[in-house]
């Protein structure tokens, strides 16, 4: 999705649609609907020799390939790095797994929560007297996983422009999650991190970096770390710093949290938003996904777009010259089969033969050559 948003032509190689009336993979379809924007689709039977040859031919014109199977699956299909680099030596081969391509756990199943648990991330998120909080699947799947893989792909493709040689990008979600914790690991190594949950300045332990309930049982986020912003916050809340413990007096944090909690309970979330608008108090409303697209700032930035009737985040980051944009909505499996093969040099007779023998599929019979 990220690469497509930034202008790449991305082709998704789909399985052939089921012909026996079996139900589709609901979870897979749901996540594809959410994240599948911007791709073209070709539906291929990769277990046939003709299907394998078709994909290898497509690789002739590709800069990169991304796969997310367990280690060894692509090799068994005949599409491992060695076979693909024989076809296209400058191809960047991106591999996404939970545990990495080798190592003791490389063949074990897992999900985001497992990866961030092993990486030393999960244990530090949540309240001190409760089990760790599940932080959505943002850290392992998308931050330590997808974002770092995209970064690795772009970096390796840039290098290939100079060297003319491709390589394998081995992206492990567990290792990527640990990498995102570098600052906290450094603080721990210097003896500056309290390993109890919610006991540090940026994990909810500090009164000035936390979330508070408002009069309408909604919430505001407070992140006034720097002294000048903290002073502005106290002024906005009507609090006298001289009557309170010092901001960085950790022994005083529980008492200060209680004071802040009482004050924020005196107004609704939206009343606080209006009162603090234009200040540097570092207080913002905690918005839901239903609310965020309608916030004035997000509207002014066009931070959300609508694709196929679904409101979703717009491409990011912004570029001054080559504007990022959603190229298309979710493609049906095989929607671009004929177009892509024609562009790769396949003749209509060859395409028709592959369709008839079941190697390929198209989503619209009207698209047959």
Whether a cis peptide bond, with omega within 30° of 0, leads into 205 is no
End-to-end CA distance of the chain: 29
Q: How far is CA 98 from the centre of its chain?
A: 14
Catalytic residue among 14, 45, 141, 203: 141
Single out the catalytic residue among 33, 102, 111, 123.
Answer: 111
**124 carries an active-site annotation:** no
Nearest to 123 by CA among 137, 111, 105, 135: 135
CA distances from 183 to 138, 152, 290 (A): 18, 21, 32
Q: φ and ψ at 92, to 5 degrees?
A: -95, 125
b/e map of 81-108 (b: 16 or more CB within 10 Å)? beebbebbebbbbbbbbbbbeeeebeee
Give the integer Cα–Cα distance in Å for 352 and 335. 15
Residue 119 is encoded by which pair of tokens? 């990486």
- Decide if 141 is catalytic: yes
CA atoms of 180 and 197, how far apart (whole Å): 18
Q: Quick count: other Cβ atoms within 10 Å of Cβ 176? A: 26
Residues annotated as catalytic are 111, 141
């Amino acid at each position: 999705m990220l690469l497509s948003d930034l202008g790449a032509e991305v082709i998704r190689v789909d399985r052939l649609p089921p012909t026996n009336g079996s139900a589709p993979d609901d979870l897979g379809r749901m996540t594809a609907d959410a994240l599948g924007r911007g791709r073209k689709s070709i539906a291929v039977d990769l277990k046939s020799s003709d299907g394998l040859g078709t994909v290898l031919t497509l690789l002739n014109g590709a800069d990169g390939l991304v796969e997310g199977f367990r280690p060894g699956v692509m090799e068994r299909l005949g599409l491992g790095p060695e076979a693909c680099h024989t076809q296209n030596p400058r191809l960047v081969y991106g591999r996404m797994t939970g545990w990495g391509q080798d190592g003791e756990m490389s063949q074990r199943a897992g999900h985001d929560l497992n990866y961030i648990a092993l990486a030393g991330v999960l244990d530090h998120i949540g309240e001190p007297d409760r089990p760790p909080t599940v932080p959505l699947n943002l850290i392992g799947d998308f931050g330590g996983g997808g974002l770092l893989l995209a970064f690795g792909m772009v970096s390796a493709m840039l290098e290939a422009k100079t060297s003319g040689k491709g390589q394998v990008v081995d992206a492990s979600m567990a290792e990527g999650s640990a990498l995102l914790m570098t600052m906290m690991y450094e603080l721990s190594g210097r003896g500056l991190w309290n390993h109890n949950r919610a006991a540090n300045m940026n994990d909810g332990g500090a009164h000035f970096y936390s979330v508070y309930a408002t009069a309408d049982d909604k919430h505001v986020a407070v992140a006034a770390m720097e002294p000048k912003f903290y002073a502005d916050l106290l002024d906005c809340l009507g609090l006298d710093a001289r009557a309170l413990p010092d901001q960085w007096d950790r022994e005083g944090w529980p008492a200060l949290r209680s004071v802040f909690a009482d004050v924020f309970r005196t107004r609704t979330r939206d009343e606080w938003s209006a009162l603090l608008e234009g200040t540097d108090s570092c207080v913002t409303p905690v918005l839901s996904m239903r609310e965020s697209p309608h916030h004035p700032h997000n509207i002014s930035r066009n931070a959300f777009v609508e694709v196929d009737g679904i409101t979703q985040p717009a491409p990011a980051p912004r570029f001054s010259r080559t504007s990022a944009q959603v190229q298309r909505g979710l493609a049906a499996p095989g929607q671009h089969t004929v177009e892509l093969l024609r562009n790769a040099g396949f003749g209509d007779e060859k395409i028709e033969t592959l369709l008839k023998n079941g190697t390929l599929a198209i989503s619209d019979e009207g698209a047959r050559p």
